[in-house]
């Protein structure tokens, strides 16, 4: 299951903060990378480079430059969990669908073939750029051999 970064920023010259699509906020100490990849010292030493951090397209990592990047799984596994932020329901749905599809070991094309839903529409759903009907969600769940669960929870 791939954890995807929604947004990222530097807290200081050493600490990267990533917000994942599910709303999880994780901080990662870049000094951990120095023994593995000494080029990360460049980020720590250069505040202008640190400010250029951005989430890669698709959210599978973060980058500062063409030569400096870090994958989302490293941040997820080795970072420090801080909190869960409120997330837009369409982004939560997008993340949930992508994780479920990956758990079912299906590509978007394979899921498309099983459901009759265009691959491009599945892609839009996984990016949070579509509003599916409950029937569409049920078709997707059935094709992945999963149960669809929709719930209302009280506001805090």
Superfamily of domain 89-143: lambda repressor-like DNA-binding domains (1.10.260.40)
The band of 41, judged by pLDDT with boundaries at 50, 70 and 90, is confident
Q: What is the pLDDT of residue 153?
A: 66
The whole-chain average pLDDT of the chain stands at 86
> Mean pLDDT across the stretch 23-42?
84
Q: How far apart are CA 43 and CA 31, in angstroms?
A: 10
> Mean pLDDT across the stretch 96-122?
92
> Mean pLDDT across the stretch 14-19?
89
- Count Cα neighbours of 83 within 13 Å in the Cβ-side half-sphere: 3
> Mean pLDDT across the stretch 78-91?
78
Residue 45 pLDDT exceeds 90: no
- Identify the CATH assignment for 5-84 out of 3.40.50.80, 1.10.645.10, 3.40.50.300, 3.30.2020.10: 3.30.2020.10
Residues of the chain with CATH 1.10.260.40: 89-143
pTM for the whole structure: 0.60
DSSP 56: P
Residues of the chain with CATH 3.30.2020.10: 5-84
Considering all CA atoms of the chain, what is the largest pairwise distance in Å, rounded to the nearest integer?
Answer: 53
Match 């909190």 to its residue by tokens. Answer: 83
The band of 1, judged by pLDDT with boundaries at 50, 70 and 90, is low
- Count Cα neighbours of 128 within 13 Å in the Cβ-side half-sphere: 16
Residue 39 pLDDT exceeds 90: no
> Mean pLDDT across the stretch 63-83?
88
């Amino acid at each position: 299951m791939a954890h995807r970064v929604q947004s990222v920023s530097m807290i200081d010259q050493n600490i990267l903060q990533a917000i994942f699509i599910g709303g999880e906020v994780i901080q990662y100490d870049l000094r951990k990378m120095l023994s593995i990849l000494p080029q990360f010292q460049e980020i720590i030493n250069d505040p202008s480079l640190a400010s250029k951090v951005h989430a890669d397209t698709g959210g599978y990592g973060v980058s500062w430059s063409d030569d400096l990047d870090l994958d989302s799984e490293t941040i997820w596994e080795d970072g420090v969990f801080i909190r869960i932020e409120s997330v837009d329901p369409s982004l939560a749905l997008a993340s949930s669908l992508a994780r479920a599809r990956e758990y079912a070991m299906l590509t978007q094309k394979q899921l498309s073939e099983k459901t009759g839903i265009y691959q491009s529409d599945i892609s839009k759903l996984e990016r949070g750029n579509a509003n599916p009907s409950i029937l569409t969600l049920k078709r997707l769940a059935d094709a992945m051999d999963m149960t669809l669960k929709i719930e209302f929870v009280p506001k805090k």
